[in-house]
Chain A
Amino acid sequence: MGRTIIDKIWDVHVVKSVTDEVDMLYIDRHFIHEVTSPQAFSGLKEKGLNVLRPERVTAVADHNVPTKNQHLPIENELSKKQVDTLLSNCKDHSIELFGIGHEKNGIVHVVGPENGLTQPGMTIVCGDSHTSTHGAFGAIAFGIGTSQVEQVLASQCLLLSRPKTMKVEVNGKLGAGVGAKDVVLYIISKLGTEGATGHFVEYAGDVFSNFSMEERMTVCNMSIEMGARGGLVGIDDTTINYVIERATISTEKQEFWKTLNSDSDAKYDQTITFQAEEIHPMVTTGTSPDTGVDIMETVSSSVRNSKKGLDYMGLKNDQPMLGTKIDYVFIGSCTNSRIEDLRAVAGIVEGHRKPEGVTVWIVPGSNKVKDQAIDEGLDKIFLEAGFEFREPGCSACLAMNDDKIPSGALCISTSNRNFEGRQGDGARTVLASPITAAASAIKGKITDPRTYLN
């Protein structure tokens, strides 16, 4: 019987099987950030433990950082304390840190891949649920809690139950204006926020093989939004070419990576298949990420809305999403803040200007993305459109810094969560692709990006 890539990667990382269900699993790469790591380091200290393999840990400050004037000290005292705590913990334990202002700083899930730290076949963890992003490289990558951050720091291992596997296949050809974000919002709308609970998902089929690494990352990023423990894409030339541009890898290792791919007769606990032609630009309607609808449809075409969610959003069931007035646009987050996203946005907005009364923030995923955008002149296009082009960080994705959407305001956002209050107390969030957000920014209302494609 064939095995899946998930089983194969898992098996080469089992240090020992503890019970029928639980394995002690070795972790190859551990990313940490300022919010979920301080209590892990204090835990180590209390127990008199050390970091076992500091060279396998990389730290990034991203959640709390301001996206303006990063050269100045952080004004918010608590945020500053968290970032400073990360700095001293890294220093004490010889952990590499990409702090604020560092050329490699940015959102942890953008930074790992773009610096060649994320590689195929690895087990990768971070105290952050969107660690699934790294699955795009054919890796088992998943979010963990702070107790587990402490465990990995101390032992480089975790006690985990063996995963169930799910294959999500999308075949066919995507229409113009339909991208990775639409594909994943569509899958989540079909599966629901708990549809993949307990499973690792392998995304397979033409659509994912044709995707770039950045598009694969967008999809894998949102695996957690359907409850999955993680999501990944098989290893092919696209993967390998991306990695060898950023890290030195022997040919033996490259060959080994390919052997990890799922066998053609691999058995999954569940398999679900969709057709690319059925996917259109998507926008969410309620307060959970599974409430996405085709942008041409009314709110009621999502079966997953609750009255409470719609009341919070200020939307009515028979209302079309198209034309809904927006107040804010946030283009950023580990889902969609990479250079391809910014290029796509620039392609739509070039030569247009946003209306008064709409605020647009473009927050690049990393300093590298920011510098690249400036090199390509994208920043000028954004400024001419009346958008703000900020410095990197998580920003309004979770509004832990000053980038908060005001109560009652509607924000079309390229991030991954539309939970109540996620982007600020009382803020209302519509999740969409970068080009849908861009087209909507120019019109001041939810707009089909296809009207701007020629």
Chain B
Amino acid sequence: MDKIISTAIVLDRDNIDTDQIIPAKFLKSTNKEGFGDWLFYNWRYDENDNSKDDFEFLKYQKESKILIAGNNFGCGSSREHAAWAIADYGIEVVISSQFADIFKGNALNNGIVPITVSEACLKALMQYFEREKSCPIEIDIEEQTLMVDAKDIFINVQFDIDPLKKKFILTGMTEIEYLVQHQEDVINFEKTHEL
């Protein structure tokens, strides 16, 4: 995975916590599958499990792989179920002006790329994509660029991604593979470590 070209979903709310992304009652599962159906459950469904048509999230193309969300996305609980729900729904990139630390790590471990942009850039993206539900955003992970090139907008910004995590995304290597490969280092370290 090095390029993602997709329309976007805008969720203009700040501090979207992991209890909103996936409420605790869905955490009783012992596997990772199917959480996408419960993504944003309390906003998306009424008491009788009927879809709430006024939830803005549902007004965008279901196939969108990019979510543009308000500041401090993913705060709260460490539940990786939040990342599983987002990935299972089909979202591959989340754009915000800030991510909570644990969520960011969880996202990367599930192939979701969290992209932090400036507040001004986030605002511009939100305003534009609230109107333009069929315009694509192009994300190039290798080049670390986010680009929108359409009739009345041009955005081309560079984003940060930790070089190691970038390598993992581009090569498909996982953190656990890396760690297990370096077991010898751990065993040597333990020889002098006393805590």
Contact = CB atoms under 8 A, between A and B. Distances in A.
Contacts of B98: 194, 197
Contacts of B106: 145-147
Interface string B165-180: 1000000000110111
B62 interface: no
B109 A147 contact: yes
A399 B24 contact: yes
B194 interface: yes
A36 B71 contact: no
A19 to B, nearest CB: 5
Contacts of A438: none
Q: Pick the 8 closest A-B CB pairs, nearest first.
A: A78-B28, A145-B106, A147-B109, A155-B179, A145-B80, A143-B78, A38-B30, A146-B80
B110 A147 contact: yes
Interface stretch (A79-87, A103-111, A205-213, A379-387): A79-87
Contacts of B182: 15-16, 24, 155, 157
Contacts of B186: 15, 26, 52, 155-157
A297 interface: no
Contact of B77 (A129, A147, A227): A129
Interface string A143-173: 1111110110011111101000000000000
Contact of A145 (B24, B83, B162): B83
Interface of A: 12-13, 15-16, 18-19, 21-22, 24, 26, 28, 35-36, 38-39, 42-43, 47, 49, 52, 63-64, 76, 78-79, 81-82, 85, 119, 121-123, 127-129, 131, 142-148, 150-151, 154-159, 161, 193-194, 197-198, 224, 227, 229, 253, 256, 288, 306, 308, 398-400, 407, 417, 419-422, 425
A77 to B, nearest CB: 9
B195 A19 contact: no
Interface residues of B, number: 53
Given A143-B78, A419-B19, A122 B179 contact: no
Nearest to B100: A227
Interface in B59-105: 71-72, 75-80, 83, 98-102, 105
B72 A193 contact: yes
B30 A81 contact: yes
A144 B31 contact: no
B153 interface: no
A421 B42 contact: yes
B137 to A, nearest CB: 24
B130 to A, nearest CB: 17
Interface string B129-145: 00000000000000000
Interface in B179-195: 179-180, 182-183, 185-186, 189-190, 193-195
A146 to B, nearest CB: 4
A42 B30 contact: yes
A39 B32 CA distance: 7
B123 to A, nearest CB: 17
Contacts of B24: 398-400, 422
Contacts of A16: 182, 185
B27 interface: yes
24 contacts: A15-B182, A15-B189, A24-B185, A26-B186, A43-B176, A52-B186, A85-B30, A127-B78, A128-B77, A145-B78, A145-B79, A155-B183, A156-B186, A158-B175, A194-B75, A197-B72, A229-B101, A417-B76, A419-B19, A419-B20, A420-B19, A420-B20, A420-B42, A425-B42
B75 A157 contact: no
A241 B56 CA distance: 55
Contacts of A128: 77-78
B151 interface: no
Contacts of A142: 102
Contacts of B20: 419-421
